[in-house]
Amino acid sequence: MKKKVGIDDLAVYIPKLYLDAEELAKARGIDPGKITKGLGIEKMSIPDAHEDAATMAAMAALQLMKKNNLNPKDIDFIHVATETGPDAAKPISCYVQGMLEQVYGERCLDHIGAPETKFACVGATYALIDRLAYIASGWNKRKYAIVIATDIAKYDLYSSGESTQGAAAVALLLKENPRLLAYEPEFTGFGTVDDRDFYRPIERTTAVVDGQYSIGCYLRNMRIATDMYKNNLIKFNIIKSDQENLSDKLDLISFHSPFPKMVQYAFASFLIHDWRRFPRWDNILSKIGPEPPRKGLTNVEFYVSKDYKRFRSRFSKIEEFRDEYNAKVANSLIALKLIGNSYTASVWLCMASHFGNGRDNLDDKRLGVCSYGSGSSAIACSFIIQPEYKEVIKKIELMRNLSRRKRISMEVYEDLHEGRFKTDESVISPKKEFALDYIGKEDKNVGYRYYKYIE
């Protein structure tokens, strides 16, 4: 009999500082509406001087272990996905292991596997699938595995990407017979194309992004992945034929969110493609006009063309779209509006936001995950929400923690961005958390990062 594996619980770590999006807009001479309405971002999560992707990952893992009373000996793997790791060779997971051993005891985690996965923002979804497959195979030696998505989305000051910055870490507890989400492995679809839409060369701390082109790649790859996902649903007779809607089989959807408005673009494109061959489509076209012709354009060129964007905008205003969006997507973005981008963590924050802001009974509902990473790859997969989920989500407290953060000024934000504060000059002094202590400067440890737990 096939094993049921999936996500038993999750924990979210958000830095305690944020920058107000309107303040950034005014400082940059931008209409605030272009950020708050055009991008859908109201606040951006900003790491303090003692924080980096490793400390955030360790804090998320520590929260997960404490609230589930986990013993280190019960953990098989700590698998981290990031695109903002501090080292090009050493995985961030080993730094996390070392930090956790400061709390739980020296060498208490020396038995674990500790890989790092990199594929831009989709990396954590790949890591999740790897670990769940390992558990399902029966190869695991211990009950639990932890997958952590951790990232700091950072762009140059005054750049077009500056207003989409953010930071967060999400730790996922994986096991057989999970209480929260059971994975449906047979349906998973992938879409991968070698592309240059977004990347960060080794020598840079900020990313290089071609914004509009990257949006086109996101939509192209997501279409490939969701087509594969639908084909697999047909293969297993979940969809009876290619004449049934995919959207009708998904109760909730979490999309990767570089900015919340991008999710609206993605969901609109998803529904346009999904509904195109069905009777309702003629009625929709009578309201918004015909789809624009492709005229020999590639998929990316078509998705970023003015004609397609106008058509998608009209589609996004009709009642049929709004009903689907509000029912299946909108709650996933409530937290993201207050965080900004967090790369690998983004799609899992959307999932946590669903649970933190939904009110309906979700038992046995199907949650779709549409994950994307530049470079470029998309994954479409799904989970079934388990009967015990209500007890699990009570302790996530995402929205409560977001309400407790400290607002910082533009001056402080720019000083943190440019690394002008030393690690012991934090805006909020660390307490009961991991902190970057110092970075080695000697011949044998130059660039090595040392962390400590602050009581």
At 191-243, the pLDDT tens digits run 999 999 888 887 788 888 788 999 999 999 999 999 999 999 999 999 987 77
User: What gap in Å lies between CA 106 and CA 86, rounded to an integer?
Assistant: 23
- Say what the pLDDT of residue 1 is: 61
User: What gap in Å lies between CA 346 and CA 363, rounded to an integer?
Assistant: 24
Q: Which residues pair with 149 in a beta bridge?
A: 81, 170
H-helix or E-strand containing 183? strand 181-183
Across 366-440, the runs of DSSP E, i.e. the strands, are 366-373, 377-385, 406-407, 433-439
Report the residue count for the chain. 455
| Nearest CA among 296, 292, 342, 288 for reference residue 318 | 288
Q: Give the residue, 218 or 244, on which the prediction is more confident.
A: 218
Residue spans of alpha helices (H) in 404-446: 410-417
Residue spans of alpha helices (H) in 21-175: 21-27, 33-36, 53-67, 92-104, 123-137
Q: What is the pLDDT of residues 398-410, one digit of tens each?
A: 999 999 999 999 9
User: What gap in Å lies between CA 299 and CA 394, rounded to an integer?
Assistant: 42
In our burial notation (b when 16+ CB lie closer than 10 A, e otherwise), range 348-383 reads bbbbbbbbbebeeebeeebbbbbbbbbbbbbbbbbb
| Nearest CA among 220, 270, 269 for reference residue 249 | 270
Task: Say if residues 97 and 112 touch (Cβ distance below 8 Å).
Answer: yes
Q: What is the pTM of this model?
A: 0.97
Q: Which single residue is written with the structure tokens 């992707």?
A: 53
- Say what the pLDDT of residue 211 is: 82
Domains of the chain as residue ranges with CATH = 5-454 (3.40.47.10)
Mean pLDDT (the chain, rounded): 96
- Say what the pLDDT of residue 15 is: 98
